[in-house]
Amino acid sequence: MIDPSGKLPGRGAYLHDLKSCWVKALKGSLAHALRTSIQEQDLVALRTFMETLPESETPDEESMTA
30-49 pLDDT, tens per residue?
A: 999 999 999 999 999 999 99
How far apart are alpha carbons 26 and 47 in whole angstroms? 8
Handedness of CA 32, 28, 31, 36 (dihedral sign): negative
Percent of the chain with pLDDT over 70: 85
Q: How confident is the model at residue 1 (pLDDT cuts 50, 70, 90)?
A: confident
8-30 per-position pLDDT tens digit = 998 889 999 999 999 999 999 99
Global model pTM greater than 0.85:
no
What was the pLDDT predicted at 65? 53
> Roughly how many angstroms between the first and final C-alpha of the chain, as a whole number?
32
Domain range annotation of the chain:
19-57
